[in-house]
Structure 1
Amino acid sequence: MRIIPSRSPGGYRDPVERSRSFRPGPVDTGWLTLAALAFAGLDVTLYVFGEPTSGWAGPAAGVTLQVLLDLSLILLFRFPRLIAGLIMAGGLLMLASDLLSPGLLVPERQLTLMTVPTITPVVLSQLARLIDRRTLLWLTAILAICASRPWDAHWNTTPFGLLSTALPTTLSLYFEARRQLLRSLRDRAERAEREQHLLAERARAEERRKLAEEMHDVVTHRLSLMVLHAGALGVVSADEAVRTSAEDIRREGALALDELRDLVGVLRNGANSEPPTLTEGQAGDPATLVAESASVGIPTELIVRGDPGRISPTVARTAYRVVQEALTNVRKHAPGSSATVELRHHADGVDVAVENTRAGAPPDPALAGSGSGAGLAGLRQRVELIGGRFAAGPRPGGGFRVDAILPAYVPTAEGDR
């Protein structure tokens, strides 16, 4: 949200806000110091080669005033109004000296056509960034009158006086307005880009919500019916084998319902809540998958590092599915190899790595062609859906490796029980 600067009744930016909007850096301060020293050296040179003042203040009165005003330029960024007042006072003193006491502060015959302090153009060119516009215009008008002498206009006084006062102010106001316009256009472009990003995020969230509703209304209903029928079959059947199979179907269907509820919660981007404790039966034990893989002739080693602690069921089930899919692919495509499953738990989540060696025998064509070919792609989508990262590819020395980096917790609306 961009805050619009406050403005005075005359339509000008508040002076306090203007002074805070510009923050000089070391480069600005450095060149301002060099300019002050250069103008001080210029005024001393004009004093040496020119005519001194002849009033009661002494021959160095004029150059002393000029050098003090030149050196005050160093403090312009810190005290802009004070320096502006000093410049105006110096111009009025020089005008009063010229009208009432010629030669007091301004030599009667000058080497230059400046009838205001020499540093005036530099000060006016910088004040557009430091004070409000109304004050700057009033200051410029007073100095322009002092420099141009409209009551006694001359070709060598009036034009040069306007060039040394009105021209620097006009140019500085133009460049300051241009700088503010560019800043405003840049802010508008950034705001439009942010709004476009928010609209795209809103559209994606709406699509996820619709998908979650379809999954909840259709798939969950069918799975619930399957679980109920399997449970009823296990109760009414007299055959032990049928009851065992029905119980297996009921248990797997219940686990599928739990996974589906968590997936629906992720799609809906449910509200944050405390993560529930993961029990052993909620997501499946990777050790069971390792034992199954070893029982069919694939020596598999399980390495678990760190403490799982309290983790989200969705993350645990995703890690379980990564191991399951990876070991299934090993059995299909790399018979005779050995595999290693590593789960590394840390504060930020869990890292899953499944790696197998080179196949020791050619794969069974029927078994290798039994899949849909989208297992790893679906696994990548599942990992990225909960904010994780997925990578899979062949090893340089042969074999294959699957890596997944999962977050510690994913809040779901229906999975928090």
Structure 2
Amino acid sequence: MVWKSRVRRLWLRLTAPEQWSRRRTAAESTLATVLALLGAVEQYARGLGWVRVVLVALLVAAVCLVRRVLPATALIAAAAATELAPVTGCLLLIVAGGSAGRRIDGALRALAAFGAAFLVFEGLPLLKDPTAVWLLVFNVLLFLVITVVPGLAHRYWSQRRTLLHTLRERNLQLLREREMVAGQARMRERQRIAQDMHDSLGHQLALIAVQTGALEVSRELTDQQREAVGVLRQASVAAMHELRAVVGVLKDGTVEDGPVADERPAARVVAAVDGLVESATAAGLKVRTVRSGEPRPLGPAADHAGYRVVQEGLTNASKHAPGAPITVGLHYEPDSLVVEVANGPAPAAGGAPGAAVSGGQGLTGLRERVRLAGGMVHAGPTGDGGFRLAAVLPYPEADGTDPAFAEAGDELGGPGRTAADDGVPVTGRSAPSEEFKDVLGPHRSKGCLIGIATALFLLVGLVLLIVAGVGKVMDEAGRAMLDPGTYAAIRVGSTEDEVRHRLPSGKSLLTSGLKGKGPAVPAGASCLSLLSTDSAGPAGTDTVYRFCFRDGKLIEKREFRVKND
């Protein structure tokens, strides 16, 4: 029953949906089909039976398809396939080596898998022909080129891609944390400013209100003085309400319109715009009000900001364009309220309307107030030489909060709350070493450098082995091969020393298999067999030159063909 459960788990891994996307299915099917056809053609060209042709094709296709799930098994099977189909097996070994280098976890497991594949790749030819020891060096070079190098390259690029992805995610996380920290810093600074304003200005305005209230009932003042003191007292009370509103906006974005010293709260909202217009008209300004749309309620911060827009616009118009006509607009759009104050060009004696932008900090503070309410402000000259101040103020959310602070709450983990409220530090993320541990694994923090160094070492060793191998082959060929011209120039009856002086030694691995082949050796003679440098002739055969000596003379030279192994 154990093997059944293992087979079931293997089948589930092979058929997992995440393993076979449309793009991967098409690519894997194409690759497996191409390699299977190459294997079948290679077997057919060697004159093998149809049964072996089909079996080799199925084996190659199966190894190609399972290499992602069973990388070590596919690598060893590909090494074994090189004995059945050398060309197709080498191509399959390149694919399996790259997949194994990328997907086998752990350096020891990867080393064991590649070592087992190397033993299979080297051992099967030796089992078939124990005398083919000279192929050992060539097979080592071939295995390094088609298996180890692709495996190291895929392993390095896979770790590099994973590391870059992790670094990108870490960078995005740090950017989000920086924005959160900056938002909290701004909130703390606003709260500090609000507290300072409340403690200093609030106290001074309360003293002014008390002193002016006492003077107003003093019998020593005239009626005119008493009226002036009453105006001062009302102004101080209004200033206290304004201060409370500003403190509320700075703290949490709400307008505090609660009573102070049992006085009536100041109405600094959009509904009180008519009072501002009446006051401005009484002061001699030419002001008219334009309304459109169905009036809708605003959030506390937005309602107060709309009043401030009209107040700032009237103040700027009266200062910088005295005598110019002013239009106050309240336009209730489907998603927001548009508040605007526009004045025409100033008369010749008046100042330039653009001066309102360059002086003071009124517009700067107004923009911050409107931003806290979730809106935006536009201020600039008009085409006729006038000036226009407009603000867009969104309606409140479903829970009555202002849009700007609802977004801040969502960013920090909930409406109106911060991460610190829940006892969670803003930057209390996992350490970078912990995050990269999944990428690099334990004891593999220098895995990429080790992989590169190993690859360079193998490449240098490969070049040296290739150079040594080429030199060895050329040396073996020089001791075993003879050109046809030299063979024709040698005459039977010449002395053995003269002939051997003109011939190679013949002591080479290339001539080791020529013993016992060809015509019978003359009685009492010793012969030297060499390979011809002329490759003309039937395919699969070699031309052999044989020289036989007896009693210090050349008694026979013969040319014949043998099948190469």
TM-score normalised by structure 1 residue count? 0.70
2:90–2:146 contact (8 Å) kept in structure 1: no
Q: Secondary structure at the match of 1:352?
A: strand
Q: Secondary structure at the match of 2:349?
A: coil
Q: Secondary structure at the match of 2:279?
A: helix
1:80–1:131 contact (8 Å) kept in structure 2: no
Opposite residue 241 of structure 2, the aligned amino acid is D
Q: Report sequence identity in percent.
A: 29
The one of 225, 249, 254 equivalent to 2:207 is: 225
- Cα displacement (A) at 1:346: 5.7
Whether 2:313 is the aligned partner of 1:326: answer: yes
Q: Secondary structure at the match of 1:350?
A: strand
Which moves more between the two structures, 196-205 or 35-44? 196-205
Opposite residue 232 of structure 2, the aligned amino acid is I
Partner of 1:342: 329
CA distance in 2, matches of 1:321, 1:396: 25
CA distance in 1, matches of 2:47, 2:265: 99
Whether 2:120 is the aligned partner of 1:123: answer: no
CA distance in 2, matches of 1:174, 1:113: 27
Q: 1:290 to 1:355 in 2, by over 3 A?
A: same
Partner of 1:60: 50
Whether 2:292 is the aligned partner of 1:309: answer: no
Which moves more between the two structures, 302-311 or 167-176? 302-311
Which moves more between the two structures, 220-229 or 350-359? 350-359
1:140–1:169 contact (8 Å) kept in structure 2: no
Q: 1:230 to 1:349 in 2, by over 3 A?
A: farther
Q: 1:403 to 1:69 in 2, by over 3 A?
A: farther
List per-residue Cα deviations over 1:19-72 (Å, max 9, x = no partner): x9x988765555444433332332233234x2143xxxxx13443234334444
Q: Secondary structure at the match of 1:351?
A: strand
Partner of 1:414: none
The one of 260, 267, 283 equivalent to 2:268 is: 283
Opposite residue 385 of structure 2, the aligned amino acid is G
Q: Which has the larger radius of gyration?
A: 2
The one of 135, 142, 148 equivalent to 1:166 is: 148
Partner of 1:260: 243
Partner of 1:298: 286
List per-residue Cα deviations over 1:62-118 (Å, max 9, x = no partner): 432343344447855xx83257646645755x59xx7xxxxxxx3xxx6x366x574
Partner of 2:538: none
CA distance in 2, matches of 1:210, 1:191: 28
Count of aligned pairs between the two proteins: 363
Opposite residue 307 of structure 1, the aligned amino acid is P
Whether 2:370 is the aligned partner of 1:403: answer: no
Q: 1:52 to 1:245 in 2, by over 3 A?
A: farther
1:334–1:362 contact (8 Å) kept in structure 2: no
* Mapping of residues 6-405 of structure 1, within 5 Å: 30-48=26-44, 50-53=45-48, 59-72=49-62, 75=65, 80-81=68-69, 85=73, 88=76, 106=84, 112=86, 116=89, 118-130=91-103, 132-133=105-106, 136-149=110-123, 152=126, 154-155=135-136, 156-236=138-218, 244-269=227-252, 281-284=266-269, 285-295=272-282, 296-309=284-297, 311-312=299-300, 314-345=301-332, 349-360=336-347, 362-363=349-350, 373-405=360-392
Q: Which runs of 5+ in 1 are unaligned?
A: 1-19, 54-58, 99-105, 412-417
List per-residue Cα deviations over 1:381-401 (Å, max 9, x = no partner): 443455532221111233111
CA distance in 2, matches of 1:230, 1:180: 73
- Cα displacement (A) at 1:348: 5.8
TM-score normalised by structure 2 residue count? 0.53
CA distance in 1, matches of 2:250, 2:274: 29
Opposite residue 225 of structure 1, the aligned amino acid is L
Q: Secondary structure at the match of 2:337?
A: strand
Q: 1:91 to 1:256 in 2, by over 3 A?
A: same
CA distance in 2, matches of 1:74, 1:398: 77
Which moves more between the two structures, 284-293 or 220-229? 284-293
Opposite residue 236 of structure 2, the aligned amino acid is G
CA distance in 2, matches of 1:67, 1:151: 21
CA distance in 1, matches of 2:29, 2:323: 80
Q: Which runs of 5+ in 2 are unaligned?
A: 1-15, 127-132, 259-263, 397-401, 406-565
List per-residue Cα deviations over 1:350-402 (Å, max 9, x = no partner): 3321122333553279xx99x96443344334434555322211112331111
List per-residue Cα deviations over 1:249-270 (Å, max 9, x = no partner): 3343333223322322333347
